[in-house]
Amino acid sequence: QFAMLYPIANNFQLGFESSEADQIRLAAVGLSNFLAAPSPLIQCEELSSVIGQTVLLKLEHTLPSGSFKIRGAFNKISSVLKTADQDQKPQFVTSSAGNHVLACCHVWQQLGVSGSAVFVPTTVAPAKEAKLTRLHQAGLIRLSKVGRECLETELAGREFALRCPGSVYVPPYSDWEVIRGQGSAAFELFPDPTGTGWAGQLSANSDWLAAGHVTLLVPTGGGGLLAGVALCAKLGRSGLRTTVIGCQPEADQVLAKSVQAGRLLSYDEAGSRETVAQGTAGAVEDGSPTFEVCRQHVDRWCSVTEQEIARACLRLNKILAAEGQPRAEPAAALGVAAALKLAGSLPAGPVVAFVTGGNVGDAEMELVKKLADEEDL
């Protein structure tokens, strides 16, 4: 166990509402100068016919480092470097289940930062560990494996940064700059009256806007992406009505159950257990702004079983293969699993499922196939 020695910084305070949509817009503009293109938005005819309304897939797993995490990582790291001494760049520290760490590594390489310390749990997915091990062996990062549960790993990283003068910790979700960066994924969808960045993907088809409403299905762990998407959807100026749904494994619903309880629950209090959706697994850091944002701005929650996740993942990957796109990891299929589960109960209008990550290996996919084939209990 790692003591919570760090102070709750000002960026944990609730400072959103009126200006937060503009902060997300600024993050999106910054990202448009770093990324080659926005993540694709594709219409899925197969899923549309199954649930009876238009289903769109936001392919975040095609971004550099293989997940949406590149958004928050870049926004946080670039904001630190803007105010840092140009002659001596700070040493960075980060920790996560894998995708956020990989995203930070990509940003550091692109921005000329080396030697940063990264922490992952002992249960890190093999495909993610292999990529990080190569970076460690090349001397680009210092890799440590600490804790089975992600929150223990996160606290280890934060405590390490506190012990190292001049170090800056980059949280996977519990930071306003990270949340704003993740919100840029939603900014790309909506019409923007300022005409900035890559906004307006939904405007590509007039039928998508005809209902005046869009449902957003967001895979959720600590809530960084969900909070950013919800803030952009609810406080932006697109003119569209939105339903924001947080999608979590039935086996691990810490954030959803915390919102229901009115306080952050521990992993054990939430009754969590291991899930094939490793990318969303684990408890939520005490003081994380994602809790209050989600409490105020998320409309619904949907939990899905391990079998539903596995079957949705296999179905999604067949669709992606037909489109010439890389395969998705199990956690990335939570939105698709929720769409299938909620068919017939969603508001009229297009449904956007965020496909959040694609760092998955063959061994993990074999487990997915096994879970998908298991008989219902």
Query: What pLDDT, in 10s, does the model give residues 122-154?
Result: 999 899 999 999 999 988 889 999 988 888 899
206-241 burial: b if 16+ Cβ within 10 Å, else e = eebbebeebbbbbbbbbbbbbbbbbbbbbbbebebe
The CATH number given to 18-67+176-373 is 3.40.50.1100
Given a cut of 50, is residue 2 above it in pLDDT? no
Rounded percentage of the chain residues whose pLDDT exceeds 70: 94
CATH of domain 70-170: 3.40.50.1100
Angle separating helix axes 99-111 and 126-137, nearest 10 degrees: 30
pLDDT at position 84 is 81
Give every strand in the sheet of 141-145, ordered side by side.
Answer: 141-145, 116-120, 91-95, 167-170
Per-domain residue ranges of the chain: 18-67+176-373, 70-170
Tell me what the pLDDT averaged over the chain comes to: 91
Q: Are 304 and 337 within 8 A, CB to CB?
A: yes
> What pLDDT is recorded for position 5?
30
Structure tokens, 101: 């760490």
Q: How confident is the model at residue 18 (pLDDT cuts 50, 70, 90)?
A: very low
Which has more pLDDT, 243 or 376?
Answer: 243
Tokens of 153: 């790993």
pTM of the model: 0.92
Over 70: is that where the pLDDT of 9 sits?
no
pLDDT for the residue 374:
72
DSSP string, 6-73: S---GGGS---GGGHHHHHHHHHHHHHTTSSSPPPEEE-HHHHHHHTS-EEEEEGGGSGGGBTHHHHH
Interval 145-167 mean pLDDT: 90
20-31 per-position pLDDT tens digit: 889 999 999 999
pLDDT for residue 305 is more than 80: yes
Please give the Cα distance from 88 to 66 (Å, whole number). 30
H or E segment to which residue 233 belongs: helix 224-235
Same fold, 18-67+176-373 and 70-170: yes
20-32 vs 176-187: helix crossing angle, rounded to 10: 70
The single-letter code of the amino acid at 233 is A
Which region among 219-233, 317-331, 361-375 has the lowest average model confidence (pLDDT)? 361-375
pLDDT tens-place string over residues 21-75: 899 999 999 999 999 999 999 999 999 999 999 999 999 999 999 999 999 999 9
Three-state SS at 89: coil
Please state the φ and ψ torsions of residue 91, each to the nearest 5 degrees.
-85, 130
